[in-house]
Structure 1
């Protein structure tokens, strides 16, 4: 059965407020659910559900073919100036002028099957670049852009003349410049894992600004249930967790604006402390995506356990992992990173509402580099109870491509190991090439008036001098097609840099050299609190299969990426 013929997660048979329409070039557009109100049917809630949901575009005959327009949009949001562990938190209405996709606060969610094709024609309708705001020329292209399909195992190259795959290796002065367009075409392999992924810009030097403004959307492969065979009446929600940091005029136009302005509290799908309504005993399926530039999200729902079944789109090995107040503090040693989602991470969870009606709060609990606990949503449980049982985790899918990478497999495919360093360093550090080559843009100078002056965001292999991505001395990791490798990533800082590699997922096997219960991910927060004398580490294994070409790995704290914490990867035959 083609996915466009299947009942959608929102279940159009059950709610007459849903409407199907034919959308754009190809695909079906499903409008988001409106808020529910009371009435004579006590299965509906008297409280309005205020968590907005993006429209979903569902593949039709194996294809989604859409236009995506990057442009400034004027909106109004309820904004809390800081994180608050109170409900309601103090907030004000703020008019904003921010970059967006298709003029909306929420870009469309794209829903495909493995084996389908996604075609996106990206139009850049942003104004011309201000080439004088920074003394570093590579930061002066804040309105040029491109497009990355985060977490997908797809071709990173140019598919044919004028048609691009998951291509992000543009120079900062290139990409899709204002007034230009670029055609992307992504073909999902037939054995691609189900799960939740996302799309966002990825032009070196401008990524922070554009993602912080809200240029991102979700991708659901197969079904949003991760082929979990949940009943049709289980409501499915995609929830982006994101902060804004704005000037008094409601803008954030460049990287320096992001660095100098103060971050807001967390917002869910662009709303501060929304209300989510559930009936007693009801089960819902939530997909959290941390699209923030820097801050971690550690979800805890008062008096409930969230049953996590997938991380970064990868289902666990027929187990649920509890997410609750007790597990939220388990981040030590082999537990790292616990339940915490760092920028770029996704988590899929089942939540069953208490049989006791009332109000409960979804919180962002404390985590390394967070701002402290805060309430991010109100959960109202009311209405007629539901008789439902959580499904068995034995119904979770298994994938041949995501079987454990054993010592024997590693040895049979070359057994190559790499040791890579991520570090924020003062420009005078002896871990860097000294003297720094004349004319290269390694750090923000004090004259630019930004707090990150004289700091180099560097990478490199253990035993070599470090350098930022924009340097001619930057490392390229060259890998043979079909190789299986083991990488150890060393962190020299207190911040748990979230390492993200494109195209090929990672099988994480060690924290600080100690064996853990392995898991698959594409974004890996490094163990925190490392120093140059005692670095912390994460070790993973990966199969570099199917695709040759150039792509990148980088820190998904996007200001770190834009300032140089990134490396080129090239897979060759």
Structure 2
């Protein structure tokens, strides 16, 4: 399987254009209508290699990679502020080069890197991380809501991993995400994590980031995130060494004129940038004619979708959220990238938390091409996010057969019969941003509970309630005593339908157990596995849209959460507990 030849792309001229939507506060319109382990330089890669052109510099930054030794990575991870020079550009510039300016930013990050180290393990390995919080003391007075006054307390989530969510022994934690905002890891404190990957864990791309209710937004947007790349002893989809592997975090910076974004209120009032790739604005990626590379895109943005398309090329999409498609590639090109209506939703669009793994074969025609973010619901206008330069000595490479893609026993289709044999329980869950006076909420709101930001705080989020609940009941926020807890039996197989009452396609993310998505708006689709599911957009209270998935709640008991991965929505309460009981 190979792509066809292409002609070199024309380079559009740069023009002085303004931002299409510079303020994050405008987005509500969508809501409502390292010791053990081996560190290697990036190009050594978790299975990556390849030549670099001597003519054009490749400027896409790459994080250092730490490889497990003897089945173990054991590192310290330091969360702290640091100065970083960034190129800040208005979003939606569909030109190259886009107009930008250098800003001296003061941002939170891990190990003073953007992104943090990539952790490379095999299924069955153990990951030990001592999280060290070296952020400054919390400001206890910035918000009227107490749970928002811990912006420098933190914790650590292992996004997408099927691992134990509990405190596994005294003082040692798995993927523990049930801290209260005033707990977690406060400034100056440490926490020890130990993550034992099951021997049958799927290979693919995952990531780690903070997840303390009320402070997640500002910590992630500053750069507190890194990738986890899992291989398997079974060599599932073992790509040839000559195929270079790139891990590409995409997100928008959100900064004040002084290069800061310290609180949730700062975030909603500051300027958005264009997308940056591993922290770089419009970097250059160099490929040889005919070369194949393996790109893992991770959307680490707080709110916006990323919908990649490469001019005059096809991106061969083979996995979503670390889960390989069954013996097939899904082509992404100029013709297919906009196809996401109805049962095609969400197409190739990645909402916050999503990861897309794609093979790309460079044209045999040397030239300059552009990687763009195409338009998606709730996204900004198209923009050029990178320049791809094809030059040098051609290479003769063939795409690996999609028949080599792995089929995991634990990620086989969930049939009607399996669902019935394991209890057949169904749930209907609602996600909605509502006015504080909505009849869908418990009225009156219980006295003393913090459901919404008051107008006196002068925030664009004021008077909105970010709510969840079971269909047929009243909705509430996570911080309320009325919040729903979904109790699930160990080894149960369940079917959940998620209803969206807003225009924004809330990205539903559930911890520990992945989802087998089977319907969009009640219609059968070609099913797929994911851990982050953007809900069908354009729902209303009268006509909500829906997504239906099935899941196996296997291996682990304990409490964890599901939530909207638009992180300001999560911080304001669009989250619920799940408890798996034996």
Which TM-score band applies after superposition, normalised by the shorter structure?
over 0.9
Aligned to 2:314: 305
CA–CA distance in 2 between the matches of 1:199 and 1:209?
A: 15
Q: Deviation digits for residues 257-300 of structure 1, max 9, x if unmatched? A: 00111211000000000000000000000000000000000101
Query: Which string of whole-angstrom CA distances, capped at 9 and with x for unpartnered residues, describes residues 409-464 of structure 1?
Result: 00000000000000000000000000111111000100001111110000000000
User: Which is bigger in relative contact order (C-alpha 8 A, separation at least 6)?
Assistant: 2
What does residue 9 of structure 2 align with? none
Deviations 1:524-549 (A, max 9, x none): 00000000100000000000000000
Deviation digits for residues 485-509 of structure 1 (CA, Å, limit 9, x no counterpart): 0000000000000000000000000
1:69-468 to structure 2, matched below 5 A, reads 69-222=78-231, 227-468=236-477
Q: Distance in 2 between matches of 1:563 and 1:124?
A: 23
Structure 1 runs of 4+ aligned residues shifted over 2 Å read 42-45, 223-227
Alpha-carbon distance, 1:25 to partner: 1.2
- Corresponding position of 2:551: 542
CA distance in 1, matches of 2:209, 2:135: 15
**Match of residue 510 from structure 1:** 519
Residues 200 and 226 of structure 1, relative CA distance in 2, 3 Å threshold:
farther
TM-score (normalised: structure 2): 0.92
Secondary structure of the residue that 1:424 maps to in structure 2? strand
Rounded to whole Å, the distance in 1 between the matches of 2:458 and 2:232 is 48
Q: Shift in Å at residue 44 of structure 1?
A: 3.2
Secondary structure of the structure 1 residue equivalent to 2:481: coil
1:515–1:487 CA distance, 2 compared to 1 (3 A): same
Mapped to 2, the partners of 1:163 and 1:190 lie a distance apart of: 21
Verify: 1:30 aligned to 2:40, yes or no. Answer: yes
Query: Following the alignment from structure 2 to structure 1, what is the Cα–Cα distance between the partners of residues 357 and 234?
Result: 9
Gaps of 5+ in 1: 1-23, 35-41
Provide the residue aligned with 1:5 in structure 2. none
CA-CA distance at 1:43 after TM superposition: 7.4
Q: Could you state the TM-score of these two structures normalised by the residue count of structure 1?
A: 0.94
Alignment check: 8 A CA contact 1:225 1:285 kept? no
CA positional deviation for 1:231:
1.2
For residue 166 of structure 1, give the secondary structure of its aligned residue in structure 2.
coil
3-state SS of the aligned residue for 1:263?
strand
2:570 paired with 1:561: yes
2 CA distance for matches of 1:103 and 1:370? Answer: 29
**Secondary structure of residue in 1 paired with 2:419:** helix
Q: String of CA shifts for 1:112-138, please: whole Å, max 9, x gaps.
A: 000000000000000000000000010
**Judging changes above 3 Å, is the alpha-carbon distance between structure 1 residues 358 and 522 closer, same or farther for their aligned structure 2 residues?**
same
1:214-246 residue CA offsets vs partner (Å, 9 max, x unmatched)? 100000011699832211111000000011110
Q: Quick check: 1:45–1:382 contact (8 Å CA) kept in 2?
A: no
Work out the CA distance in 1 between the residues paired with 2:216 and 2:235: 29
Aligned to 1:51: 60
How many Å separate the matches in 2 of 1:33 and 1:462?
Answer: 50
CA contact (8 A) 1:196 1:224 kept: no
1:524 to 526, 530, 533: 533
Native 8 Å contact 2:52 2:286 kept in 1: no
Helix, strand or coil at the partner of 2:187? coil
Name the CA distance, whole Å, in 2 between partners of 1:92 and 1:244: 13
**CA pair 224-141 structure 1, distance change in 2 beyond 3 A:** farther
Rounded Cα–Cα distance in structure 1 between residues aligned with 2:177 and 2:219: 15
Tell me, in whole angstroms, the C-alpha distance in 1 between the residues paired with 2:361 and 2:221.
Answer: 32
